């Protein structure tokens, strides 16, 4: 039946059916009208006669759990685990006994302030706000409830440029890696010249690198996620998922020097590039190896993801066009590449400022 809102439907026989849910939305009664307005008026009268308040017949967590159950039907395992962790660890403890109508802008603001005080990141809190707002919007659409938090927005994030290795430090790292024979060193070198995400690199198999065409396929990502919770004990599993977005599944042409280096490391087609076996190396181990490598070379402690930032910046310096670079990085649009990953180094800034000498 076509729905017009507020739990009112137009039936195939031309009449309008309005439903009133009760007992925490496990049961409902219906009234009928020849028009939407007539059905709406009868619905209001039925609510009054049943003593059912339009906005408080559902706990807010019921709306969240219904949204989550529906969302789980079509999202990745990693996203399911991420949402579950935020719902169970933060949203449910805060909103557990709160009715839908009680959730308003001041309550959401207080929730966000509390999570900031607990030291959670802007991104982590942003995902929780998305869950809360999406659940409220779904309940408003299905049950006809008033959405009191529709206009809530997180304040803009105060961003700072990521900590990157300088050009000299990158050169030092590249020179060292090129001389090593182990698979992890080659994997890090590959990331420096392709901008791979850490999960994409860990999931990479030798079957993904075609020596004849000179191309590398990115089709999966590897990460450890929480798969179940029992009290305070969370069980985890290493899972392979599709890449972050549709555009993250991509083909990257490799330069000849990388293809030549790859041939000296190549193993069986079903072997993972980093391990040289059919057992993968997970991201947290690669992170540990990367930090240990930086420390051994006397280089600053930067995140593995900084290699992706540095790759994008280096490509811009080499006059890559933005469209091509965006596709290599697996972004959905060139604007994301410009906004997130392209950063001017102090050397670039000084070079640009020295050009002002021409004006003197």
Which candidate, 197, 345, 219, places its Cα nearest to that of 283? 197
Question: pTM for the complete prediction?
Answer: 0.71
Q: Alpha-carbon distance 342 to 344, whole Å?
A: 7
Q: Which domains does the chain have, with CATH numbers?
A: 3-42 (no CATH), 60-143 (1.10.150), 167-351 (1.10.443.10)
Residue 344: per-residue pLDDT: 59
Residue 7: per-residue pLDDT: 74
- How many Cβ atoms sit within 10 Å of the Cβ of residue 322? 17
Q: Alpha-carbon distance 59 to 26, whole Å?
A: 13
Q: Which runs of E-coded beta strand occur in the chain?
A: 3-5, 8-10, 16-22, 27-33, 209-210, 215-218, 221-230, 233-241, 250-253
- Torsional sign, CA 265, 270, 271, 274: positive
Query: How far, in Å, are 180, 219, 300, 342 from residue 312 at the CA level?
Result: 24, 21, 19, 6
Phi, psi of 230 (to 5 degrees): -135, 95
- How many Cβ atoms sit within 10 Å of the Cβ of residue 226? 17
Residue 231: per-residue pLDDT: 44
Which candidate, 268, 255, 248, places its Cα nearest to that of 199? 248
Residue 232: per-residue pLDDT: 47
Angle CA 291–341–281, to nearest 5: 35
Helix (H, G, I), strand (E, B) or coil at 87: helix
Instruction: Write out the chain's pLDDT in tens, 360 residues.
Output: 555 556 788 888 999 998 887 665 567 889 999 998 898 889 888 877 876 665 545 789 999 999 999 999 888 888 899 999 999 999 999 998 888 877 889 999 999 999 999 999 999 999 999 999 999 999 988 877 778 899 999 988 777 777 889 999 999 999 999 999 999 999 999 999 999 999 999 999 999 999 899 999 999 999 988 776 554 446 888 888 888 788 889 999 999 999 999 999 999 899 999 999 999 999 999 999 999 999 999 999 999 999 999 999 899 888 888 899 999 999 887 787 777 766 555 667 777 788 887 887
Query: How far, in Å, are 100, 316, 322, 335 from residue 319 at the CA level?
Result: 53, 5, 9, 17
Which candidate, 318, 319, 317, 322, places its Cα nearest to that of 333? 322
Phi, psi of 19 (to 5 degrees): -110, 145
Residue 339: per-residue pLDDT: 73
Residue 338: per-residue pLDDT: 76
Q: Alpha-carbon distance 356 to 292, whole Å?
A: 42
Tokens of 306: 């900084």
Tokens of 154: 């997180």
């Amino acid at each position: 039946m076509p729905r017009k809102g507020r739990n009112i439907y137009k039936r195939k026989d031309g009449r309008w059916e309005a439903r009133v849910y009760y007992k925490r939305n496990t049961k409902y009664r219906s009234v009928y009208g020849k028009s939407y307005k007539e059905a709406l008026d009868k619905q209001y009268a039925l609510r009054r006669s049943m003593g059912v308040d339009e906005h408080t017949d559902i706990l807010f967590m019921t709306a969240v759990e219904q949204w989550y159950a529906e969302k789980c039907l079509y999202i990745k395992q990693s996203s399911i685990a991420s949402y579950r962790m935020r719902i169970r660890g933060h949203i449910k403890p805060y909103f557990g006994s709160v009715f839908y109508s009680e959730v308003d802008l001041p309550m959401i603001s207080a929730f966000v302030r509390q999570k900031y005080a607990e030291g959670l990141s802007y991104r982590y809190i942003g995902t929780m706000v998305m869950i809360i707002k999406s659940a409220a919007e779904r309940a408003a659409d299905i049950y006809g409830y008033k959405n009191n938090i529709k206009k809530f927005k997180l304040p803009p994030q105060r961003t700072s440029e990521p900590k990157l290795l300088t050009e000299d430090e990158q050169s030092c790292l590249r020179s060292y890696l090129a001389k090593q024979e182990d698979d992890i060193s080659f994997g890090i070198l590959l990331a420096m010249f392709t901008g791979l995400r850490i999960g994409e690199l860990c999931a990479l198999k030798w079957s993904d690198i075609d020596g004849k065409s000179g191309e590398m396929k990115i089709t999966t990502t590897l990460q450890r996620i929480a798969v179940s919770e029992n009290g305070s004990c969370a069980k985890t599993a290493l899972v392979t998922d599709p890449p972050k977005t549709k555009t993250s599944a991509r083909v990257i042409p490799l330069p000849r020097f990388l293809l030549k280096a790859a041939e000296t490391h190549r193993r069986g087609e079903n072997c993972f590039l980093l391990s040289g076996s059919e057992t993968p190396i997970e991201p947290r181990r690669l992170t540990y190896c990367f930090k240990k490598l930086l420390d051994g070379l006397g280089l600053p402690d930067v995140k593995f993801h900084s290699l992706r930032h540095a790759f994008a910046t280096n490509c811009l310096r080499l006059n890559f066009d933005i469209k091509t670079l965006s596709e290599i990085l697996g972004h959905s649009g060139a604007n994301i590449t410009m906004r997130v990953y392209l950063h001017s180094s102090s050397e670039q800034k000084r070079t640009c400022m020295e050009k002002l000498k021409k004006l003197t």
